[in-house]
Amino acid sequence: MRILRILVGSLLIIGCRDDKSQIGGVRTDIEEASDSSFASQDRGPKERSSVDEEKAFSYLHEVLLNKEFGAGSGSVIRWIESPDVVLVEGSEKSRAVLNRVIEQLNNALEGTPMRLESVTDSKRDRRIEVFMVPGSQFRAIGRTRGFKVYGKQDGYVWVFWDTRKNFIQRATVMVAVDRIDGDLLEHVLLEELTQSLGPLGDTTILPESVMFQRGSDHGRAPKLSDWDCRMLKLLYGHLKPGDEEAEVREAYRQFWRTGLNAKPAKEQSSNTREERP
C-alpha cells in the first residue's frame, strides 16, 4: 500500500509500498466511482469516446493531483530542474537495474526539458538519492535524512518540496533487495522513481500502469504504460508547479492525443532560489 503522510510545519511528503496492507478510505471511494463509471460496454462510438476521455482524465487526476494525506493535494508537484540520480548504496547488479529504469524514464521524457542522469556522486541540492539495500536499513537511512519509516516495506519514497511554489527540492528512494528481486524489484524501483518525479498518487483504474493499486492488488508492471509515458510528457512539457485541475484538463485537451512534444511549458530559471525546509 502506498501511504502518504505529512509532518506539521515541514515541507515533505512520504510515500511507501506495503504489499501486506489493505487499502481504505478515499481509495475505496475512488475505486467504487471508477468501477461504476466505466463498467458498461453497451455504448455507441461517441459515448465510448467520451467515456475514454473521462477515464484518461480521471487517471491524470489520480496520479498528478491526488496526494491523499500530503500537503499540496489538488496541485501539480514537480522538479523545475533536472536532478542528479545517485545510487548511494547498492551493488553493481542494482546499478544495472537502476540504469534500465532511468533509461525508461528518459525515453518517456524525451522532448521535454527534463532528463535524469545517473552519477556516482553529487553535491547538488537537487538530487534523487537511491538506496538498494536490505529493508532492515530503511529506518537508519530515514533517520539520517530526517524522516521516519513505518513497517516493513518493499519500496519507499520520500519527497521534499516547497509547499508555496510546489517545486521538488530533493527525494530519497529505497528498495528492499532482500525482500524482492527480478521483475518485481524492477517494478518497485520504477514505481518509486516515477513518483519521485511528482506523480504522487496511485491509480485505481489503469491496471497496466506502474502506479496501479486497487485493494490488495499493487500491480507488477515492469514497464511504463502508454498512459504513464504520456502523463510524464504532459507533466514536464505542458504543466507547471502549482497547476490545478483546470490547467491539467486544458493541457489534456490540447496535448494528450497529439502534440505532446510541442511547445514545452516555460521552465523557471535554473538558478531559482530554493526554499529549504
Q: 258-269, pLDDT tens digit by residue?
A: 756 655 445 443
Evaluated on CA atoms 211, 159, 67, 5, the torsion sign reads positive
Say what the alpha-carbon torsion angle 226, 45, 55, 165 is, to the nearest 10 degrees.
Answer: 80
What is the rounded distance in angstroms from the CA atom of residue 145 to the CA atom of residue 159? 11
Q: Using the predicted structure, report yes or no on whether residue 276 has a pLDDT greater than 50.
A: no
Structure-block grid coordinates of residue 245 = 485541475
Structure-block grid coordinates of residue 199 = 506523480
Do residues 260 and 60 make contact, with C-beta atoms less than 8 angstroms apart? Answer: no
Q: Using the predicted structure, report yes or no on whether residue 98 has a pLDDT greater than 60.
A: yes
Q: What pLDDT was estimated at residue 136? A: 96
- Report, as an integer, the average pLDDT of 74-98: 97
Neighbour-count burial of 20, counting CB atoms closer than 10 A to its CB (0-12 exposed, 13-18 middle, 19+ buried): exposed
- Report, as an integer, the average pLDDT of 52-65: 92
Q: What pLDDT was estimated at residue 70? A: 54
Q: What are phi and psi of 29, to 5 degrees?
A: -65, -45
What is the rounded distance in angstroms from the CA atom of residue 85 to the CA atom of residue 94? 13
What is the rounded distance in angstroms from the CA atom of residue 131 to the CA atom of residue 142? 11
Paired with 87 in beta bridges are: 130
pTM here is 0.78
pLDDT tier at 226, thresholds 50, 70, 90: very high
Q: Using the predicted structure, report yes or no on whether residue 2 has a pLDDT greater than 60.
A: no
What are the chain's domains?
12-18+80-198 (3.40.390)
What is the number of other CB atoms lying within 10 angstroms of the CB of residue 55? Answer: 15
In the chain, what percentage of residues exceed pLDDT 90? 63
What is the rounded distance in angstroms from the CA atom of residue 95 to the CA atom of residue 109? 21
Structure-block grid coordinates of residue 82 = 533536472
Q: What are phi and psi of 88, to 5 degrees?
A: -75, -45
Do residues 135 and 151 make contact, with C-beta atoms less than 8 angstroms apart? Answer: no
Q: At what angle do helices 45-60 and 26-38 cross, to 10 degrees?
A: 160
Structure-block grid coordinates of residue 93 = 547488479
- Report, as an integer, the average pLDDT of 201-222: 84
Residue of higher predicted confidence among 228 and 153: 228
